[in-house]
Structure formats: C-alpha cells, structure tokens
Chain A
Amino acid sequence: MIGSISLEMLLQTIAAGVLIGCTYGLMCVALGLIFGVMRLINFAQGDFLMLGMYFAFSIVTVLGLGQGGLFGGVPAILLCAFLAIPVFFLLGWFIHGTLLRHVGQEQGLSDLEAHQAQLIVTLGLSLVLTNGGLMLFGSTPVSINLPLSSQAWIIAPFGPQDIAVFLNKAQVLAAAVTVVITAGLYFLLNRTKLGRQLRAAADNPIAALYMGIDVTRSYRTTFGLGIALTAVAGVMVATYYPFQPYVGLDFVIIMYAGVVLGGMGSVMGSFWGGLIIGLVQQLSSLVLPLQLQATTVFVVFLAILLIRPRGLFGRAVERA
C-alpha cells in the first residue's frame, strides 16, 4: 500500500499536516499554559474552542462580511481573531474568579483532591457550555464560507515529475496567525515581568508567594490567557472546518496529545507537540481508513505516555 503513495501525495500531505499542525500547536500552547502553570486539567478547553468558532461565525454573518468581504475575507477573520483575545480573556478571568479559585486549596483539600475537584468542575463547565451551545446555536453543523476557504495557492510544478502542491489559503492564514500569536506568547513569558511572575508561580507557587507574587492573580491571568488563545485557535479553525456545539470533543484529545508529546509544563514544547500531532494525523490518512485516523492520534498519545511520559521537552523529578 505504501508503495503506491506518490511523492506528490506525500508532499501534499506533509504541507497540509504542517499547516493544520500549526493551529493544533496554538491549541496545545493554550492548554499547555493552563496546565503548566496551574496544574489544572481543563476539560472545558474544547468547548472554549467551540465558543471561539461561533464567535467568528456570529461576527462574520451578523456583519455580512462573508462572501463579499474585502480581500477574500482576510480582514474580517483577522478582526475576529483580534477581538477574540480581550473578550475571551475576560471570560476566562471571570470564570476563574467566580468558580475555579474557590475550588481546591481554599476548601482545605489535599493536592490530589483539589485537582480532582477542579477537574470535576471543568467537566461540569464543559457540560454547561456544550449544551448551552446547543440551545443557542442548534445542532446543525455550520461553516464560515469565506472565499479563502475554497482557494489555494499552488506551488508551481517542480522536480522531474512536475510535482504541484496545493496550499489552502484559509489554512495558510490560520497557520500564520497561530505562529504569530505563539511567538507573542513566547515573548510575553520570557521577556516581560508578567511572564516571569507566571513562570515563577508555575515553578513553585509557595516560593513565588513569599517573593511577593500574587499567585492567585497569576493563575487568573493564566486562565484568561489560555482561554483567549484557545478562542483565537477556534476562530482560525472555523475558516476551514465545519462545526457544531459538540466540535470540542474532536479536538480535546488532540490538544492533550500535543501537550503530553511536548512535555507537560513546557509551554513552547506544546506547540511542537501539536505540530507533530497534525503531521501524524495527516500522514496516517495515506495508509489508514478515515475512521482509524483518530485512533492513530490515540496510539501515538499512548506510546508517548508510555515511552517518554515527560514528553520531548518536559522535565519532572520527584524527590524521595
């Protein structure tokens, strides 16, 4: 079977894998940030992605920016991505302040119990968001039909076999935006005072507290940032992927797989993890039937967990 795959197909698949992988990368970075700093397994992450998609959908349809939009709808979608950041940051900030911060240590739970309790809360949140989405948006799949979505750049025939590779414009735009945002986050974490505080709170919350860092506030900021980045990823994915309120489930495992692959706790590692997951998923389509593509992600996921549970870029040591 593998012998029948032409070089052209392989290159095409790799190109698609990298482009899709970049958006996965941003999703993973968002989740990895929340997990890395707060040690919180956020089950509702996929639902915030879904909200980001509907956010873009609403703006594009309400403002009538769809088919007739300027420059193939690029400005419209960039506007959505831009607006999504403050809106969803505030949403995350609000949810952490009203809900998550009151669960766990504040209730006198041990670490393990606090994590379990927070996890159940995010499960509850996920139920509310998914079903709330169903009430608001209905169960019919929708998509944002920008001219971009159906256009492609063709990398001119090259090589002895006249190979041509098509790059979907929506996917290219999504990849570009996600790379820029990820780079911005990298800058924020490594070059600013806020970033130092977040990293300190992640490394050792108690020591950070003694150094005068408001750890609760750091967590709140982290959660807001994580949700904002997820929503941006949602906006970008919405340009090439049809969705309904349950769409979050399609992505949750991909996100976790990427984060684990990159190494839990390593925010930038998560981006590479997501990219690799995108590639693996696309490449598996060359040899496997459609239904088993998702399974490859699980298999990769399990294999990483078992062979190198710290991921490719992670670190963790427990002292006896």
Chain B
Amino acid sequence: MFLEDARRQYLVLAGFAATYLVVIALTYNSYYQLMLTLVPIWAVMGLSWNVLSGYSGLVSFGQAVFFGLGAYTVTLLFKEAGITPWIGIPIAAVVGSLAGITIGLITFRLTGHYFALAMLAYPLAMLHVFQWAGLQEVSLPFERQNPLAYMQFADQRWYAVIALVLMILAMLVSIAIERSRFGLSLLSIKQNELAAEAAGINSVAWKLRAIAVSGGMAGGIGGLYAVVLLVVTPDTVFGLHASAQALVVTMFGGVGTVWGPVIGAAVLIPLAETLHAELASKLPGIQGVVYGIAIILVIVKMPHGIVWAVRDRWRKAAPAAAPVTSPSRPATPAVAHAPSDEIILRIKGLSRSFGGVKALNDIDIDVRRGEILGIIGPNGAGKTTLFNVLNGMFPPTAGTRIFAERDLARLRPSGVCALGIGRTFQVVRPFPRMTLLENVVIGAFVRTPNRAEALAIARDMIGRVGLGGFEQRAAGELTNYQLRLMELARALSGKPSLLLLDEPFAGLASTEIEKFLDLIREIRASGTTIVIIEHTMQAMVKLVDRFVVLDHGVVIAQGNPQDVIKDRTVIKAYLGENWA
C-alpha cells in the first residue's frame, strides 16, 4: 500500500525469491519443474490483471488478448525471422503494451459492466482472426547449433528461473505503483471516479498508463509461455481460460495486493495440475470441477481473497491505537479581508440543458478575487449543476467560463482542478477504504509530483482543518463532520485559488457549523476565493460578502446579503406568491 514500509517489502521479496531459487535447484522431476515455471507465469498474468483491474476497478475479462499477442509475437519472430526469444520477449512486452494503449483508447469510454464485456470480446475476436490466418498450431523451431542463444535449455530448471525473474520484476513494478501517485490515483478512481477527477486526477490518462503496464506484463509473460510450451494455438493463448486464470488467481489470492496473485497462483496452479495428472485419465473434467468448487468456496468464505482475510484477522488481533492528539488548529491571524475588484472567474451566458430541461439558462456571474460568494435558491434551481459545469464535469451547452484569464472550455475536471479550482460535494465523496491521509494526499499531487512534498502538504492541511491525529483512520470510519473536513482538506491540498463548496453544512450540528464557519473565514483570509452553496440562511448571512440567487436555472437577484433577503422575487421563489 501507499504508506507501507518499502524496505520491509523488499526484504520479504528477496527472501521469497531466494527460497524459490533453492526449491528450483532441488527439484529434479521434470513435471515439478514445469509446475515451478507455470506458477510464476500465471502469477505474472494475475499481477498484470491486478495493475489494471485490481487497483482501478475496471474489470478486464480480456487479459488473454495481451498474453496471446505476446505468445504469437515471440513464436512468429523466432520462426519467420529467426529472432531469439531473448529479444522476442521484450518485443512481446512492447507489443502487449501498445495493444493495451490501443484498446484503452477505444474502450475507456466505457465503465463498469460495459467495459468488462467489451474486454471479453477482444481476445475472442483475436482467436478467430488467428485461426482464419492459418496459425492454428505454430511450433517453435529447434535450434541445435546454439540452444542457449535461443532460450532452449536441456535443463528445464532454467525456465523456472527465468519465470521467477520476470515475476519478481512484475512484483517490483507493482510495489512501485502502489507506493506512488500512480497507484493512489488508480485506487481513488476505483472508489469514486468523480471525486478523483475533481481532486485533479486525470482518470483517462492514469487508466491508459495502467493498461499499458498491464498489457506489457501480460505480453512479456505470454512470450515466455510460448517458449516453455514450444507450441502455440489460438485456443490456449487467447481462450477464455487464459483470461479467467488471470482473474481467478488474483481474486483467490487477494485483489489490489502485490502478493495476492502470487499466492493465488502458488495454490491453484499446482492444485489444478496435480488433479489433471492424477485424475484426468480416469475422470476427464474432474480437475475443472474441483477447481471450480475451490474458487466458489474461497469467494463465499473469503470474498476479498486470502491476503485480505489474513490481514484483517491480523489487524483485529492488534487494534490500531486511538489517536491521542486532540484536534487542534494553528491560530491563523484573522486579517480583515476586503474583496478586491479583480474578477477571478467570469461566467458569461452559461447554459446547460438535459434533454428538454434547461438546468442553467444564460447565467452571468462575476466572482471577485478574495470574496465569499453565496449561491442560494430553492431545490432544483440549478446550483449544483452550476458547480458541475464550472468544474468541467458536464460541458456547458453554451457560454464561457474564464478563470484567471484562462478559458475553461473543453477541460476535464482534473484540468480545471490543476488550474486552481477546488471543490467539495453535496454528498461527501470519500475514498472509503483509504486512510484519511491517503484521501487527502491525492489532492496534493496536483501541486507536486514529489511523494514527500505531497505528504507534507497533506499533513499540513489535515492539521489546518483540525483533523490532526486521525491520519491513519480509514475514511469509512469517520463521522459526517470529519468527512466534510476531510473533503475540505483534500480540496485545499491542491492549493486552489478558488474553492467551490457544495452544501458543506448539510447534516451538521450548529456547533459544528460554527467551527466550519471559522474555518471558511480563515481559508479566505489566507487568500482563497470561495463560492458556497448552502441552505442554512442564518449561517450564510453571517458568512458571505455577496449573494447570487438562482431559480429555475436563472439568476433572479444578486447583491449584498441584507438587500437580497428582502428582495421580493427572492422571497417569492422561496416561499411562493403569498409571502412576497
């Protein structure tokens, strides 16, 4: 995970590799040697699936497409061009990676089940294309002259060593991903893509990187698979079995972990192979039945896989220490802060329709640098839609948004965030399985790619909102108030010059609102402009410099608080004709 101690991870990995090498060296039975080769091969397939699907949550049923392309790349390069697998396997990885990017560019428009099903189609289509191309069964030629140069060993154990090396490589890559902004971004996309985008994560770019890495791993290991088996058929490398195997070893061992796929492969592959060897002649199909039952049992008993089940049990045994530091806030001098006349955000003629409904109709608003602008209006007035259009979640149907001299047209939410517009959500959108610190540090990566700097910013912001001491708590365990503060800290970590707050007081007690109000004033005092949507009028009148009133997607009034709350059209919009 992101915050795990790297040195310990490397030590465990080194120990594991050394043990595995000893086991390989001591294995003389060629059948067991093959098994020792297949375990790391399928572990790498699992790791490759994990990089794409485990972290980002985009389930791929089509991992075999990369595997198969890799296998055929090595085989055909060897057979047709005489290129050794020593070079062929790296090329296969590149082919897999390019295939990943191509598929990603086409398929990332889809999410959820649609993505999963689309991925299923790629390898199966390939299967038929390769059959049609007359490549039903391609063998690797024997090189008697110089076998070593062509990765052909008399001693089968060398294949196991090569497979082990590739597996360690894949694990190191996975660890590097987990410990960096890369993995954190994927995890946040998995848990809440909209919030991730709003926190400055360009979800498409990160998913493309993930599928490129994933395709590379699967392609490379597919190449080795071809070398080990000496013959490639479309069914073995593109078939559903290869895709399912990647998914099954990972789910079995533990999704979203480096060790999950390895443990899954180490248990399931020998199990399946042994069953096949022992029983296939007497009872064809028995290995599939037992294998299937094993998978079902694990999911029913340990739905997150072995690694998580063990980790949870271990955590329960040693409960995390409760935070001791009481939430405290460094005193910021409350400087009287007058809004300047400079326009930081100029909204002109902004409209947005959903079908026939005009949620926003020709909106003009100028936000001045340093002010707190309140946006009010009855339910359904278009307030949240305004924020969604402002931060790029929905493109506007018409109109312009100029922020600090920059046109926001065609920017994704992540791009808007990077320019300096942060936002929070009406319904809090935490990444529940991540710790508070991880939740907040995501926002900080918008400002700095450096891990240590980002962590420092995040810790600072957590302190500023008064959540110090809670850094290691899982977001899922926090109260509503704490989550609101956390979301604020995440938005602040991007050092926004404009902050959009969408109903931050919803569900808070009056004492909590008071504290929150002070916090917002402090944020403004430190130079951030604030636009806030809120229904709690008492709080708003005390807080804001200016109101904009929306009703049915139109600005019906704006001005200083005292005038606006006396405005007849405003009262009419809220309370109806009789009260106006």
Contacts and interface: CB of A to CB of B under 8 A. Distances in A.
A123 B132 CA distance: 28
Contact of A309 (B59, B114, B131): B114
A125 B432 CA distance: 31
Contact of A298 (B116, B125, B285): B125
B125 A135 contact: no
A194 interface: no
B91 interface: no
B105 to A, nearest CB: 11
B293 A128 contact: yes
A126 B295 CA distance: 11
Given A125-B296, A134-B284, A135-B286, A305 B110 contact: yes
Contact of B292 (A125, A245, A306): A125
A302 B118 contact: yes
B247 interface: yes
A134 B113 contact: no
Contacts of A253: 120-121, 124
Interface in A272-299: 289, 291-292, 294-295, 298-299
Contact of A41 (B117, B131, B240): B117
B109 A298 contact: no
Contacts of B122: 298, 302
B57 A301 contact: no
B236 to A, nearest CB: 14
B537 to A, nearest CB: 25
Contacts of A306: 106-107, 109-110, 118
A128 B303 contact: no
B293 A113 contact: no
B251 interface: yes
Interface stretch (A2-10, A99-107, A176-184): A99-107
B129 interface: yes
Contacts of B368: none
Contacts of B109: 306, 309
A119 interface: yes
B247 A123 contact: yes
Nearest to B59: A116
B440 to A, nearest CB: 21
A115 B232 CA distance: 33
Contacts of B128: 291-292, 294-295, 298
Contacts of A102: 300
Contact of A113 (B131, B284, B288, B303): B303
Contacts of B388: 320
A267 B256 CA distance: 34
A135 B129 contact: no
B81 interface: no
Interface in A244-277: 245, 249, 253, 256-257, 260, 264
B303 A109 contact: yes
Contact of A295 (B125, B393, B394): B125
Contacts of A109: 303-304
B286 A124 contact: no
Nearest to A44: B292
A117 B299 contact: yes
A135 B296 contact: no
Contact of A131 (B57, B107, B251, B292): B292
Contacts of A107: 303
A132 interface: yes
Contact of A120 (B114, B125, B291, B299): B299
B248 interface: yes
B283 interface: yes
Contact of B288 (A104, A130, A302, A320): A130
Contacts of A302: 106, 118, 121-122, 125
Interface in A26-41: 35, 39, 41
A107 to B, nearest CB: 5
B286 A131 contact: yes
B388 to A, nearest CB: 5
Contacts of B248: 120, 123
A190 interface: no
A76 B243 CA distance: 40
Given A124-B293, A294-B124, A103 B288 contact: no
Nearest to A109: B303
B218 interface: no
Interface string B377-402: 00000001000100001100000000
B287 A131 contact: yes
A132 B247 CA distance: 22
A133 interface: yes
Interface string A298-316: 1101100110010000000
Given A120-B247, A295-B125, A128 B288 contact: yes
Contact of B129 (A117, A138, A295): A295
Contacts of A134: 284-285, 288
B255 interface: yes
Contact of A103 (B57, B114, B300): B300
B552 interface: no
A292 B132 contact: yes
Contacts of A152: none
Given A99-B300, A109-B303, A132 B117 contact: no
Contacts of A35: 113
A112 interface: yes
Contacts of A125: 292, 296
B521 interface: no
B525 interface: no
A131 B286 CA distance: 7
Nearest to B394: A320
A249 B240 contact: yes
A61 interface: no
A39 B112 CA distance: 11
Nearest to B291: A127
A139 interface: yes
A133 B288 CA distance: 10
Contact of B244 (A39, A123, A257): A123
Given A107-B303, A121-B299, A124-B296, A139 B284 contact: yes
B190 interface: yes
A172 B244 CA distance: 36
Contact of B117 (A126, A130, A138, A260): A260
Interface of B: 57, 59, 106-107, 109-110, 113-114, 116-118, 120-122, 124-125, 128-129, 131-132, 190, 194, 240, 244, 247-248, 251, 255, 283-289, 291-296, 299-300, 303-304, 384, 388, 393-394, 432
Given A130-B285, A299-B125, 8 more contacts: A123-B247, A131-B285, A131-B288, A134-B284, A256-B120, A298-B122, A302-B106, A306-B110
30 contacts: A35-B113, A99-B296, A103-B299, A104-B303, A107-B303, A109-B303, A109-B304, A112-B190, A119-B116, A124-B292, A125-B292, A127-B288, A127-B292, A128-B288, A130-B288, A134-B288, A135-B283, A253-B124, A260-B117, A264-B113, A289-B132, A291-B132, A294-B125, A301-B117, A301-B121, A302-B122, A306-B109, A309-B109, A309-B114, A320-B394
Closest 10 CB pairs of A and B: A131-B288, A127-B292, A134-B285, A131-B285, A124-B295, A128-B292, A291-B132, A298-B125, A124-B296, A124-B292
